[in-house]
Amino acid sequence: MSPTKKVLLVFLPSESGVDGARSLYSDKGSSALSRWFNQSLRTIIKQSQFAIPPLSLMILSSLDVPGVEQSICDMRFEEFPFHEKWDLVGISVQTGMAKKAFALADQLRCAGTQVALGGAHVTLFPDSCRPHADVLVPGEADDLWKQVLTDLAAGPLKPLYSSDSFPDLEHSRPVSKTALIKKRYFTTNLIQTGRGCQYNCDFCNVHLLNGHVLRRRAVADIVNEVTRFQQEDSRIFFFVDDSINADPAYALELFRQLIPLNIRWFGQATTTLGLQHELLETFANSGCQALLVGIESIETKSRTAHKKNQNRTEELVRAITAIRKAEISLYGSFIYGLDGDTLNTPAAILDFINETQLDVPGINILRPTPGTQVFERLREEGRLLFDPLDITAYRYSFGQEMLYKPKNIPLDAFIESYSTLTRQVFSIKNAVKRGMSAPRAKSAVLLFNLFYAHLYGLSRHDLQHQREKSHQEKTILPYAE
Ligand code: SF4
């Protein structure tokens, strides 16, 4: 009998964000006290376990194939185990992290280890990944990975595992947490009820990666999973779907069945929930503590320009008020810098936050992700600030970097107005106030607001640095086609 094949699934850390926020530039120039403070805060952020496990790797590591043993290496917490021998290393590649992923893949392949690459970047840009991999797995890998493991156990692997269709999620695939070190994470109770989005927002890649048709798992399957997970980890549940109320009848049925299990949960929804009274009541009764809602823009012109047509300004305030009245705390996410935005937009966002009493506001700068419609449009319009072919440029950061030129606002004025807005919204005083007045999850609301006071401070520091650098170099645009 041939020996068991060892497979390692790798998740790479991002440059910044809740996994350990840091300036995109070195701490050089800041005082020793400030460096000590920033380092301590980074450690606290990391150790407060806002990190959640990589769900896609959890799903793949749950596949049980005779003759194959799978582990997960989460490089947010550990170094790559080069001292061990692996028959196959699978790396999840996100566009902002592609350079790091390719460097690791090249190093492993030089040492004779086979490497499989999958994830969003491989799905959208397979050609750029091919030179760094023995095996490419573009698309949703639930069924393809099983085929990879089966082939690995039997002999040689193929260079490409792909499918023309999305996996049927009604087919039961039990998710296991055995490959996770549970204490590292805020919670390991991650549940995905479905994939796909019927909307077409031009800055988003969900509909490109998972399709426009909502695919749902069977309700009974999810109830079983919640019951099983609850026995292994008593912490809060996180329903990771982009919009947990996208199919109201399905959500009503699911969360009604979850009421007797007495869980507490977070999720992501559209503000329409505030107008779906029966569903809202069921969410509250099933233990919903807080929801993230994508407000994106309160400017009608901006929503139209970016195809985010499902929100209506006049309904937003009413819906948000209703959700908070049902005792569910709200994280409301905005994007400033959309094509209908002007220098009057920050004041409107501030008024909106004050009127609705959002518990955790998040104010992002538009981030053109390669592969999205907005990225292509900005490229055609000559508004990207970095080389569109440079995979290192379009990295994830926490509002710390301008990647494009806003349509109606000069770059300097934009940075100034964004910095003023985040200074007004994210103060220690506001964090305490929001924590105390949140309908539920008060301590989480307080912590998030405190961390944001720090993170948006980093954002102001880095944007100022970028601005000074471009002035010194006497060019507004670091990149020009
Ligand atoms: S932003 Fe939300 S609603 Fe819009 S396409 Fe993406 S997932 Fe769908």
Q: Are residues 109 and 222 in the same domain?
A: no
Closest alpha carbon to 437 in 338, 352, 329: 329
Out of 198, 205, 207, mutate this one to test ligand 1's pocket (max ligand atoms within 8 Å of CB): namely 207
Pairing relationship of beta strands 194-195 and 215-216 according to DSSP bridges: antiparallel
- Domain span holding position 201: 187-470
Answer whether 462's CB lies under 8 Å from 397's CB: yes
In angstroms, the CA 447 to CA 9 distance is 31
Same structural domain, 261 and 409: yes
* Best CA proximity match to 445, nearest among 304, 321, 205, 266: 266
Q: Ligand 1 centre and the CA of 199: distance in Å?
A: 6
Residue from 161, 88, 102 nearest 131 by CA: 102
Counting beta carbons within 10 angstroms of the beta carbon of residue 248, is it exposed (0 to 12), middle (13 to 18) or buried (19 or more)? middle
- Selection from 220, 295, 234, 293 nearest residue 265 by Cα: 234
The Å distance, Cα 221 to ligand 1 centre, comes to 25
Q: How far is residue 338's CA from residue 299's CA, in Å, rounded to a whole number?
A: 9
- pLDDT confidence of residue 353: 95
Expressed in angstroms and rounded, the spacing between residue 106 Cα and the centre of ligand 1 is 34
Tokens 């907005």: give the residue.
Answer: 374
**Structural domain contains residue 457:** yes
Number of domains in the chain: 2
Question: Do 146 and 199 belong together in one domain?
Answer: no
In a domain, 359, yes or no: yes
DSSP 433-480: HHHHH-SS-HHHHHHHHHHHHHHHHHHHHHHHHHHHHHHHTT-S-S--
Query: Per residue, what are the HEC states of 255-276?
Result: HHHHHHHCCCEEEEECHHHHHC
Secondary structure letter of residue 132 according to DSSP: G
| CATH code, domain carrying 51 | 3.40.50
pLDDT of 13 reads 84
Query: What pLDDT does 480 receive?
Result: 43
322 shares its domain with 458: yes
Q: Which residues in 326-390 belong to E strands, given as ranges? A: 329-336, 360-365
d(CA 359, CA 434): 5
Per-residue pLDDT of the chain (481 residues; tens, 9 = 90+): 578 999 999 999 876 554 556 777 765 556 676 667 666 666 666 555 578 899 999 999 999 999 999 999 999 889 999 999 999 999 999 988 899 999 999 999 999 999 999 999 999 999 999 999 999 999 999 999 999 999 999 999 999 999 999 999 999 999 999 999 998 888 999 999 999 998 888 999 999 999 999 999 999 999 999 999 999 999 999 999 999 999 999 999 999 999 999 999 999 999 999 999 999 999 999 999 999 999 988 878 877 777 766 656 678 999 999 999 999 999 999 999 999 999 999 999 999 999 999 999 999 999 999 999 999 999 999 999 999 988 778 877 788 899 999 999 999 999 999 999 999 999 999 999 999 999 999 999 998 999 899 889 989 999 999 988 877 765 555 444 3
**Both 43 and 142 in a single domain?**
yes
CATH number of the domain encompassing residue 426: 3.80.30.20
Whether 206 lines ligand 1, by a CB cut-off of 6 Å, is yes
